[in-house]
Structure 1
């Protein structure tokens, strides 16, 4: 699902919380990303493991896709 025209609410959320990201662990960062994404959805649509996936990558972390169990925790 692309967020397109509703992306401003996600951007606003991320900008508002930007100063906290350096102190967050991976789980907290994933939760922030999901909260920002949730803000882009219409009220009648729930964020769940069927309509979202997360890729994790870092300087010393190879690209990986979070599995359904890992993704379900913050949802």
Structure 2
């Protein structure tokens, strides 16, 4: 399904690019699309950063647990 959406998006962008070459694109609509994508990009970036922080936290905890376990094995 994702691949289908990618192909459809590319097709639409190709058509809009052709229309722009013929000066047939509404700049207001185009700017709305750009703003929408920028907002979506920022939201995804924030979500990814939050997820990475959580993964780093989990990884840190796991490393500490591993260190404790390894110290038990030295004795």
Per the normalisation by structure 2, the TM-score is 0.29
Structure having greater relative contact order (Cα 8 Å, sep ≥ 6): 1
Greater helix share, structure number: 2
Question: Considering only CA atoms, is the larger Rg found in Structure 1 or Structure 2?
Answer: 2
Greater strand share, structure number: 1
